Chains A and B, each alone.
Chain A
Amino acid sequence: MSTYQWLLVFHVTGAFLLLGGGAFAASLNLMALGRDRPSDIVLLFGLIRIAVVAITLGTLLAFVFGLWLVHEAGYGYGDGWVVAAIVALIAANALGGAGGRRDEKTAKLARELAAAGDEPSAELRARVHDPISLALSYGSGLLLVLVLALMIWKPGA
């Protein structure tokens, strides 16, 4: 295989870890929305950490090998679709990171409630359904889909 093909393999692997990790986290987050017991929230939010590892590794692979591919394939770093994809990827990580930090506080509260009798709590329910956290996390996911679209259509290339 050529250098271009190898770079594409690693770049696409990053995209699979990134988008697949997003789908993984979204599936568990949707399940958490329907649960009241703190220990259930602890379990589901704990499993989401696997997705965080995949998303972090995927972002690194997609970004590094993506930039290398731009050079290898003869595109310009100032091309509109390249700039838009980089901005969208950075914004997706910023939104996802902010949502993740809010979810970590929710998980901490869930752990405390689980240790103190595991009774449903209005505060925990409100935090799990917090519209800002949900908007940050799902907004991040939508931006990742936009990055995929930019990679495929390459508008202006």
Chain B
Amino acid sequence: MLALIRPDAWNLPLFLHVLGATVLFGTVGVVAVAGFAIRRSTNHQLLLARVAQRTYMLGVIPAYILMRVGAQWIDSKEFPNGNEPGWVGVGFLVSDAGAILLIIVGILLAVRRQRILLAVPLLTGLYVIALGVAWVSMSGKP
């Protein structure tokens, strides 16, 4: 029952963190699916590349910032002395390594060369799996 008790001051940062993480999951999924579809489609490659770019700029980046700021905010409240358990470390590992991965995806989308774009669905697909590992770790707190 102790796990259920949470001070009211933690609610807003937790809400922003979870909302950002869920939107990040969905929008990274769009970039991954658009990337896979580019490999199959012959008539709509330009449209799919635009879907991936716009979703990245208007969805993935804002959602990542919301998730990461919310994470830091609630971490500062829940663990003010820095003695974080392992499940918090998994979350930070996925988010910080994910930032590097997302920067690479952004560069690939900006370059827009056909062969280079092929890496986008693989990298974003990998990140979707990593986000799954993070939410299992965050919610289960093993």
Residues of A within 8 A of B (CB): 1, 4-6, 8-9, 11-13, 15-16, 18-24, 27-28, 31, 35, 39-40, 43-44, 47, 50-51, 54, 73-74, 145, 148-149, 152-153
Contacts and interface: CB of A to CB of B under 8 A. Distances in A.
Given A31-B50, A145-B19, A149-B15, A12 B26 contact: no
Interface string B35-65: 0010001011001101100110001000100
A30 to B, nearest CB: 8
12 contacts: A5-B3, A5-B139, A5-B142, A13-B132, A15-B18, A18-B22, A27-B30, A31-B51, A43-B44, A47-B30, A47-B34, A74-B1
A55 to B, nearest CB: 10
B29 interface: yes
B100 interface: no
Given A13-B135, A35-B47, A44-B51, A73 B30 contact: no
Question: Lowest 9 A-B CB distances belong to which pairs?
Answer: A23-B26, A20-B26, A19-B22, A20-B25, A12-B139, A24-B26, A23-B23, A9-B140, A27-B30
